[in-house]
């Protein structure tokens, strides 16, 4: 296949897969095989584009004209390549994990779950490869809608309320702010194509740049910049694989990816540098980093804490973009990768704990590390990567972001990054410490009396076979989650480590996105 | 411009129109509303017929010695409008009959009361 | 050649078929007749559209009498566009009508129903093709009288009062319209729309002509249910038989909007009337109130047909807003929304028809748990609802894009903001339905229901499918609307 043909196939294949899942829905084994095979092929397709793109090619494909003069078109460039690579790669891992999780957790409506998941991945790839802002917006909205049934999966009143917040904020911001920004851009420039160096230079009055930028950045609700962050914690009612892949990787990364795209290809770094339009949004991002970390410290529910941690980490990327320097953009783009591996591991661990021991609150996790050592060691590794310590991938992106902050003379941002790292330590490490060093609570030997009275997470259907059935993998005294779950989370934790050594390759690969800029 | 007798017919049209309109709005009885509607329509018919009049003109008949005659077109138009008016009135009255069968009243207030109960 | 007479055949065929229905009296035969006729009309209108695309405006002189003395029928891009909207909805509605009407209308009166449906279509098509201002009134009344009958045919007695109230309002509106026509005739001596367009500029300053404009605008605004002249619409749509609601929602208001467009841009086109007497400010204000008022009231409705009716009021606001922008982009946004709204609202009302067919009620509370029992129908509702919200890939998105672009082109920031905020209100009322339908269990007393029958499902999915097809490829519709708008605005300069 030529690179041009790969684009429609990689976006279309998950949809075909969704259809296959629907047909084979009656037989879980067949259904999950279809998902896994689809995920594998999609990843191979996406990966096969890698060499072309790093050789400087920009494969493109046009689906058709949607509005007069505006087409649905796709262009693969390094930034999108990286995002697509992560999304499709982690889809495979997540599918493996999901099989263990969903069966161990006895979830309902699994076929619908897998279908929506596949559609969500397809739209994430659409976002990654989008050649213009209209295409990106179209897939952005499909992503919102296709993940909605996943958020409300359990159908409880809690899920219903979360669904309202989710739709309200994501659809609301995208239509009320982002769409207006897009159409405004179009009336100003007559094009929406992503062009290296930006399209707005000289087309818009300097004072209006910051208004337009604000419309874009706040309109991209998926980036969860405060005050439009509430949907992310709300979305945590979804089953954990959804939180892991979508609300730590695909959906939120689609948000910050869009922020980067807009910064680099619509505005252009030079324009932002010249007008300083991004500065006040950078301050908003810095505030979000700190506030979200502080909120995370107060959350006892593990997934809620991770959600606020995600909000904080996403603002690193926004901060990187808004500082309008090459290093910031690079750091932001790399943080997409590094954070993805770290955060998905953390969520996998949270899910594993929930499946194996039905624990959702951190205060209940005393001594749990002795029963689930692999899970908690991986949790530690991922935490260290998120905090930004060597030898894990997270250190590099933070390094670049800090360099960018120092470079642009914004010492305050350097301070924010440092303080935030300390806060990361404060809200992640105690979990591990508690799990390994505290003695188990006496009543935790019984797996069944810990109803989740906080209502943060869909209550597991307690099933007689829980006591030693599909939800646990026993070796001696250990009570790990099913092997599919543990394998997946160990793998992504390894990824955090491996990325430490490959950061320079990612950086070289990403460099071409800064073409056409002086800074 | 506003010499009173010359414009009299238009004043009559306007007064009739407003009377009809007022009846339609103010009356709660469905039959009386239709009466008002008819007054309203007839005022417009008058307006049309009036405008066909040409000073000193006779009936529009082609015959020797007739030079000036009224414009027949408005009359023809109004024939159509009258037919439409008749159809509307009969349909309206038919509906009133049916409403009376269903509700046992044709007073607006009583009907609104019954509808709000449901 | 018969192709020369297509314009008149478009009107004559359904007009003649209507009395035949009354003679035949057999429900099934009349249904078959109505279906065939509606398809013939669709074929004719598509042929006309193609002709217009190739040759430009087509003029047909009735009885060979040349305008401005004789009545002429004229079809240009705009007329052909509206013809296609009306006939395609008609062609989809008649197959759907069979089962729905059998359920909701007394079976011994079904033949009257089909006769009236055909008459109504005749009237709407007549309004669209005629080039004569008085003839337009006659067709307006043909469609209106048959509409009153159609609305009153349901089994709910509130349909009777709804029809009666509409009759009063509608007749007032139509009478206002002919008063305006009369005043214009007084001043110009012509009734031909195109001719009037040429004559008006010389006499535009006279009070007679301005009064005529006021009478005609108000009269037509009653017909198209622009706030605050909308009182008749919600009850009429809510209590009419479902299939009637589908047909009216998708066509009647659209044709009234068309008539208003003709008055403003063709009859008064020579004097740029929107600017000259500043009615555009008034229209914009009313449109915006309609957008917000309609959506806000829709949120609190418990009867979903009524909810959709209020949503229609809001959508009519968008159309009028686009038209009153008085620019090519604005007018084409309004015109493209005529079609787009017909597809999505027609589809949504068809969904409600299916629901009423199965559970006998359009109340929100009674619809609980239908998401499981009628997955396709409710899926169609969600899809149609997304289009109302204006999510990309739907026709609603195309309309909103065009409208926003028009507003921003003029630099009307506040208006653009109001458009997006009001469209977000649709999220709320669609969401309410989704919550009840998908997250609530079916009420204990209700017997489990099946999917709607195929004969209703196919037309419904056709309209919803069209709402997506023309959303993904918005170029055809935008192109036609753009050309129609250019010819209208071109008349101005």
Q: Which residue has the higher pLDDT, B83 or A514?
A: B83
Per-residue pLDDT at A97: 82
C-alpha A154, offset from chain centre: 22
Per-residue pLDDT at A460: 43
Query: Distance between CA atoms of A384 and A395, rounded to whole angstroms?
Result: 9
CB pairs under 8 A between B and C: 71
Give tens-digit pLDDT for C50-67: 988 888 888 888 888 887
Instruction: Please say if the pLDDT value at position C375 is more than 80.
Output: yes
Instruction: Please say if the pLDDT value at position B51 is more than 90.
Output: no
8 A C-beta contact, residue A191 and residue A139: no
Mean pLDDT of A307-330: 86
Backbone angles phi, psi at A90, to 5 degrees: -70, -20
Longest dimension (CA), chain B: 71
DSSP string covering A70-132, please? EEEEEE--HHHHHHHHHHHHHHHHHHHHHHHHHHHHT-S-HHHHHHHHHHHHHHHHHHHHBSB
8 A C-beta contact, residue A283 and residue A270: no
C-alpha C233, offset from chain centre: 12
Instruction: Please say if the pLDDT value at position B22 is more than 90.
Output: yes
> Best interface-test mutation with A: which of C392, C469, C474 has the largest number of A CBs within 10 A?
C392
Nearest to A167 among C398, C401, C431 (CB): C431
Give tens-digit pLDDT for A175-184: 888 888 888 8
Nearest alpha-carbon partner for C130 in C55, C60, C178, C220: C60
Nearest alpha-carbon partner for C383 in C347, C435, C420, C332: C347
Contact status of A186 with chain C (Cβ, < 8 Å): yes
**Which residues of C fall within a CB distance of 8 Å from A145?**
386, 391
Q: Which residue's structure tokens are 């007073």?
A: B107
Distance from CA of C140 to the nearest CA of B (A): 10
Cα nearest neighbour of C427 on chain A: A168
Q: Which residues have CB under 8 Å from B19's CB, separation 6+?
A: B36, B39
Tell me if residue C429 falls in helix, strand or coil.
Answer: helix
**Contact at CB, C137 and B21, closer than 8 angstroms:** no
Confidence of residue B35 (pLDDT cuts 50, 70, 90): very high
Nearest to C168 among B24, B99, B111 (CB): B24
Instruction: Please say if the pLDDT value at position C353 is more than 50.
Output: yes
Confidence of residue C373 (pLDDT cuts 50, 70, 90): confident
Nearest to C408 among A145, A167, A184 (CB): A184
Instruction: Break chain A into its structural domains and give their ranges.
Output: 3-448+470-514
8 A C-beta contact, residue C338 and residue C319: yes
Mean pLDDT of C17-36: 89
Q: Which residue's structure tokens are 């998105």?
A: C397
Percent helix, strand and coil across chain C, each to the nearest 5: 80, 5, 15
Contact status of C474 with chain A (Cβ, < 8 Å): yes
Q: Which residue's structure tokens are 């922008």?
A: C325
> Best interface-test mutation with C: which of B95, B112, B115, B116 has the largest number of C CBs within 10 A?
B95
8 A C-beta contact, residue C293 and residue C227: yes
Contact status of C409 with chain A (Cβ, < 8 Å): yes
Query: Distance between CA atoms of C218 and C260, rounded to whole angstroms?
Result: 10
Question: What are the angstrom distances between the C-alpha of A116 and each of A17, A99, A130, A235?
Answer: 11, 15, 21, 15
**Contact at CB, C167 and B91, closer than 8 angstroms:** yes
Per-residue pLDDT at A75: 86
Instruction: Please say if the pLDDT value at position A462 is more than 60.
Output: no
CB atoms within 10 A of CB A9: 15
- Intra-chain end-to-end CA distance of chain C, in Å: 37
E strands present in C6-141: 58-61, 72-75
Query: Distance between CA atoms of A174 and A187, rounded to whole angstroms?
Result: 18
Confidence of residue A469 (pLDDT cuts 50, 70, 90): low
Instruction: Please say if the pLDDT value at position A472 is more than 70.
Output: no
Q: Which residue has the higher pLDDT, A466 or C117?
A: C117
Instruction: Please say if the pLDDT value at position B103 is more than 80.
Output: yes
Instruction: Please say if the pLDDT value at position C237 is more than 70.
Output: yes
Mean pLDDT of C150-174: 91
Distance from CA of C120 to the nearest CA of B (A): 15
Nearest alpha-carbon partner for C234 in C176, C316, C171, C347: C316
Q: Which residues have CB under 8 Å from C445's CB, separation 6+?
A: none
Q: Which residues have CB under 8 Å from A487's CB, separation 6+?
A: A96
**Contact at CB, C145 and B91, closer than 8 angstroms:** yes
Give tens-digit pLDDT for C433-474: 888 888 877 777 777 788 888 888 899 999 999 999 998 888
Q: Which residue has the higher pLDDT, A320 or A483?
A: A320
* % of residues, chain A, pLDDT over 90: 1
* % of residues, chain A, pLDDT over 70: 91
8 A C-beta contact, residue A404 and residue A325: yes
Backbone angles phi, psi at A201, to 5 degrees: -50, 120
Give tens-digit pLDDT for A374-425: 888 888 888 888 888 878 878 888 888 888 888 887 888 888 888 888 888 8
CB pairs under 8 A between A and C: 73
Nearest to A67 among C398, C435, C438 (CB): C398
Instruction: Break chain B into its structural domains and give their ranges.
Output: 5-57+69-117
Confidence of residue C1 (pLDDT cuts 50, 70, 90): low
Question: What are the angstrom distances between the C-alpha of B49 and each of B35, B46, B73, C38, C184?
Answer: 21, 5, 9, 39, 14
Per-residue pLDDT at A373: 80
**Contact at CB, C172 and B40, closer than 8 angstroms:** yes
Nearest alpha-carbon partner for C246 in C92, C439, C37: C92
Per-residue pLDDT at A458: 41
Confidence of residue A241 (pLDDT cuts 50, 70, 90): confident
Query: Distance between CA atoms of C83 and C8, rounded to whole angstroms?
Result: 13
3-state secondary structure A336-363: HHHHHHHHHHHHHHHHHHHHHHCCCEHH
CATH of B5-57+69-117, one of 3.40.718.10, 1.20.1250.20, 1.20.59.10, 1.10.287.3510: 1.10.287.3510
Instruction: Please say if the pLDDT value at position A454 is more than 60.
Output: no
Per-residue pLDDT at A448: 44
Contact status of C172 with chain B (Cβ, < 8 Å): yes
Distance from CA of C268 to the nearest CA of A (A): 30
Q: Which residue's structure tokens are 């770290």?
A: A342
Question: What are the angstrom distances between the C-alpha of A425 and each of A296, A331, A386, B29, C11?
Answer: 11, 21, 9, 79, 78
Distance from CA of C74 to the nearest CA of B (A): 21
Lowest-pLDDT choice from A250-254, C86-90, C257-261, C486-490: C486-490
Torsion sign, CA atoms C72, C75, C80, C82: negative
Per-residue pLDDT at C149: 93
Query: Distance between CA atoms of C285 and C265, rounded to whole angstroms?
Result: 19
Q: Which residues have CB under 8 Å from A3's CB, separation 6+?
A: A48, A49, A52, A57, A59, A76
Distance from CA of A436 to the nearest CA of C (A): 41
Contact status of C391 with chain A (Cβ, < 8 Å): yes
- Work out the angle between the directed axes of helices C413-439 and A180-189 (0-180°, nearest 10): 140
**CA-angle at A113, arms to A108 and A114, nearest 5°:** 125
Percent helix, strand and coil across chain B, each to the nearest 5: 75, 5, 25
Instruction: Please say if the pLDDT value at position B55 is more than 80.
Output: no
8 A C-beta contact, residue C43 and residue C88: no
Return residues 64-123 of A near C (CB < 8 Å): 64-68, 72
Query: Distance between CA atoms of A160 and C437, rounded to whole angstroms?
Result: 12
Torsion sign, CA atoms C222, C224, C226, C228: positive
Helix or strand holding residue A65 (H, E): strand A60-67
Give tens-digit pLDDT for A422-444: 888 888 888 888 888 877 776 54
DSSP string covering A132-181, please? BHHHHHHHHHHHHHHHHHHHTTT--HHHHHHHHHHHHHHHHHIIIIIIHH
Mean of per-residue pLDDT scores for chain C: 88
Contact status of C39 with chain B (Cβ, < 8 Å): no
How high is the ipTM of this complex? 0.91
Query: Distance between CA atoms of C436 and C440, rounded to whole angstroms?
Result: 5
Contact status of C362 with chain B (Cβ, < 8 Å): no
DSSP 8-state symbol, B1: -
Confidence of residue C207 (pLDDT cuts 50, 70, 90): confident
Nearest to C479 among A68, A72, A168 (CB): A68
Distance from CA of B102 to the nearest CA of C (A): 7
Query: Distance between CA atoms of C122 and C140, rounded to whole angstroms?
Result: 10
Lowest-pLDDT choice from A38-42, A73-77, C271-275: C271-275
Instruction: Please say if the pLDDT value at position A119 is more than 80.
Output: yes
Q: Which residue's structure tokens are 């007695």?
A: C157
Mean pLDDT of C164-173: 92
Mean of per-residue pLDDT scores for chain A: 81
Mean pLDDT of B54-74: 78
8 A C-beta contact, residue C172 and residue C124: no
Instruction: Please say if the pLDDT value at position A453 is more than 70.
Output: no
Touching chains, A (3+ CB pairs < 8 A) = C
Q: Which residues have CB under 8 Å from A63's CB, separation 6+?
A: A8, A71, A72, A73, A74
Query: Distance between CA atoms of C42 and C36, rounded to whole angstroms?
Result: 10
Backbone angles phi, psi at C72, to 5 degrees: -120, 150
Give tens-digit pLDDT for C278-337: 788 888 889 999 999 999 999 898 889 999 999 999 999 999 999 888 888 889 999 999
What would the two tokens of residue A463 be?
A: 């099933």
Nearest alpha-carbon partner for A232 in A217, A243, A220, A245: A243
Query: Distance between CA atoms of C236 and B116, rounded to whole angstroms?
Result: 16
- Work out the angle between the directed axes of helices A251-261 and A133-151 (0-180°, nearest 10): 160
Q: Which residue has the higher pLDDT, C326 or C247?
A: C247
Evaluate if pTM is beyond 0.95.
no
* % of residues, chain B, pLDDT over 70: 93
Per-residue pLDDT at A443: 55
Query: Distance between CA atoms of A488 and A495, rounded to whole angstroms?
Result: 11
Instruction: Break chain C into its structural domains and give their ranges.
Output: 278-493
Instruction: Please say if the pLDDT value at position C122 is more than 90.
Output: yes
DSSP string covering C303-359, please? BHHHHHHHHHHHHHHHHHHHHHT-SHHHHHHHHHHHHHHHHHHHHHHHHHHHHHHHH
**Contact at CB, B41 and C175, closer than 8 angstroms:** yes
């Amino acid at each position: 296949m030529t690179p041009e043909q790969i684009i429609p196939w990689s976006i279309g294949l998950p949809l075909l897969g969704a259809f296959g899942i629907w047909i084979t829905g009656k037989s879980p084994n067949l259904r999950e095989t279809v998902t896994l095979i689809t995920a594998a092929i999609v990843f191979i397709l996406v990966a096969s584009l890698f060499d072309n793109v790093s050789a400087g090619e920009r494969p493109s494909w046009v689906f058709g004209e949607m509005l007069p003069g505006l087409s649905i078109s796709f262009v693969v460039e390094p930034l999108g390549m990286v995002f697509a690579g992560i999304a499709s790669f982690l889809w495979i891992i997540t599918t493996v994990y999901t099989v263990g999780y969903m069966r161990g957790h006895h979830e309902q409506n699994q076929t619908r779950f897998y279908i929506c998941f596949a559609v969500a991945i397809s739209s994430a790839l659409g976002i990654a490869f989008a050649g213009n802002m209209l295409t990106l917006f179209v897939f952005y909205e499909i992503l919102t809608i296709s993940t909605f049934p996943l958020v409300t999966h359990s159908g409880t009143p809690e899920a219903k309320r979360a669904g309202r917040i989710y739709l309200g904020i994501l659809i609301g911001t995208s239509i009320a702010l982002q769409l207006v920004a897009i159409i405004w851009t179009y009336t100003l420039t007559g094009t929406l194509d992503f062009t290296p160096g930006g399209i707005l230079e000289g087309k818009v009055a300097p004072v209006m740049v910051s208004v337009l930028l604000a419309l874009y950045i706040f309109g991209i609700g998926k980036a969860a910049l405060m005050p439009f962050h509430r949907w992310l914690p709300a979305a945590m009612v979804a089953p954990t694989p959804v939180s892991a892949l979508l609300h730590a990787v695909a959906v939120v990364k689609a948000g910050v990816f869009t922020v980067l795209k807009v910064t680099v290809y619509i505005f252009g770094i030079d324009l932002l540098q010249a007008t300083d339009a991004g500065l006040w949004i950078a301050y908003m991002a810095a505030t979000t980093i700190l506030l979200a970390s502080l909120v995370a410290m107060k959350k006892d529910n593990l997934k809620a804490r991770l959600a606020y941690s995600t909000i904080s980490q996403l603002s690193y990327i926004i901060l990187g973009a808004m500082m309008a320097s090459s290093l910031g953009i690079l750091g932001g783009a790399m943080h997409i990768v590094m954070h993805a591996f770290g955060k998905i591991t953390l969520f996998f661990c949270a899910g594993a704990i929930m499946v194996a021991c039905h624990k959702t609150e951190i205060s209940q996790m005393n001594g749990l590390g002795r029963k689930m050592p692999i899970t908690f060691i991986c949790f530690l590794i991922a935490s260290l990567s998120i905090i930004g310590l060597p030898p894990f991938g997270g250190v590099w992106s933070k390094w670049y972001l800090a360099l960018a902050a120092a470079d642009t003379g914004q010492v305050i941002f350097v301070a924010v990054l440092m303080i935030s790292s300390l806060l990361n330590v404060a809200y992640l490490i105690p979990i591990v410490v508690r799990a390994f060093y505290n003695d188990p609570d006496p009543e935790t030997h019984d797996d069944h009396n810990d109803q989740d009275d906080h209502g943060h997470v869909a209550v597991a259907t307690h099933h007689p076979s829980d006591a030693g059935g599909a939800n646990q993998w026993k070796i001696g005294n250990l009570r790990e989650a099913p092997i599919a779950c543990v394998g997946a989370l160990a793998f992504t934790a390894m990824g955090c480590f491996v990325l430490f050594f490959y950061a320079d390759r990612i950086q070289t690969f990403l460099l071409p996105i800064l073409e056409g800029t002086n800074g | 411009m506003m010499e009173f007798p010359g414009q009299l017919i238009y004043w009559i049209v306007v007064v009739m129109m407003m009377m009809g309109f007022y009846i339609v709005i103010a009356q709660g009885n469905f039959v009386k509303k239709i009466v008002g509607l008819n007054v309203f329509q007839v005022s417009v018919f008058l307006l049309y017929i009036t405008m066909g009049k040409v000073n000193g003109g006779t009936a529009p008949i082609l015959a020797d010695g007739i030079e000036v005659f009224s414009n027949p077109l408005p009359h023809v138009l109004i024939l159509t409008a009258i037919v439409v008016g008749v159809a509307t009135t009969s349909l309206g009255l038919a509906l009133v009959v049916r409403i009376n069968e269903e509700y046992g009243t044709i007073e607006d207030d009583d009907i609104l009361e019954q509808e709000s109960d449901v | 050649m018969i192709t020369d007479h297509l314009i008149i055949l478009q009107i004559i065929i359904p007009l003649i078929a209507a009395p035949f229905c009354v003679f035949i009296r057999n429900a099934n035969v009349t249904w078959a007749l109505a279906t065939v006729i509606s398809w013939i009309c669709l074929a004719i209108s598509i042929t006309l559209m193609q002709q217009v695309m190739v040759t430009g405006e087509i003029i047909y002189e009735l009885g060979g009498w040349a305008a401005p003395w004789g009545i002429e029928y004229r079809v240009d891009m705009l007329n052909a566009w509206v013809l296609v909207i009306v006939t395609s909805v008609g062609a989809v509605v008649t197959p759907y009508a069979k089962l729905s009407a059998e359920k909701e209308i007394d079976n011994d009166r079904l033949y009257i129903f089909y006769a009236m449906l055909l008459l109504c279509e005749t009237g709407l098509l007549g309004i669209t093709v005629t080039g004569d201002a008085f003839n337009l009134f006659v067709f307006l009344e043909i469609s209106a009288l048959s509409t009153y009958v159609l609305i009153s045919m349901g089994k709910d007695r509130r349909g009777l009062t709804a029809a009666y109230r509409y009759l009063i309002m509608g007749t007032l509106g139509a009478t206002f319209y002919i008063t305006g026509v009369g005043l214009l005739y007084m001043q110009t001596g012509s009734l031909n729309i195109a001719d009037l367009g040429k004559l008006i500029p010389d006499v535009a300053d006279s009070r007679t002509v301005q009064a005529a404009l006021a009478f005609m605008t108000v009269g037509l605004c009653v017909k198209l249910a622009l706030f605050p002249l909308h009182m008749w619409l919600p009850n009429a749509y809510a209590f009419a038989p479902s299939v009637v609601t589908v047909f009216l929602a998708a066509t009647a208001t659209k044709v009234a909007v068309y008539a208003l467009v003709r008055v403003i841009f063709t009859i008064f086109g020579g004097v740029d009337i929107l600017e000259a007497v500043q009615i555009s400010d008034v229209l914009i204000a009313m449109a915006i109130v309609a957008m917000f008022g309609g959506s806000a009231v829709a949120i609190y409705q418990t009867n979903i047909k009524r909810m959709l009716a209020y949503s229609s009021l809001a959508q009519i606001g968008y159309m009028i807003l686009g038209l009153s922008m008085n620019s090519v982009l604005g007018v084409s946004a309004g015109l493209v929304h005529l079609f787009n709204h017909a597809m999505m609202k027609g589809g949504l009302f068809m969904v409600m028809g299916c629901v009423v067919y199965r559970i006998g009620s359009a109340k929100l509370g009674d619809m609980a748990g239908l998401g499981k029992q009628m997955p396709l129908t409710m899926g169609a509702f969600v899809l149609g609802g997304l289009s109302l919200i204006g999510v990309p890939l739907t026709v609603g998105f195309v309309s909103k894009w065009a409208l926003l672009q028009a507003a921003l082109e003029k630099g009307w920031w506040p208006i653009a903001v109001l458009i997006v905020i009001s469209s977000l209100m649709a999220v709320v009322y669609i969401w309410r339905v989704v919550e009840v339908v998908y997250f609530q269990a079916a009420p204990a007393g209700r017997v489990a229901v099946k999917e709607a029958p195929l004969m209703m499902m196919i037309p419904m999915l056709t309209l919803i499918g069209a709402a997506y097809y023309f959303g993904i490829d918005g170029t055809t519709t935008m192109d036609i609307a753009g050309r129609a708008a250019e010819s209208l605005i071109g008349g101005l300069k």
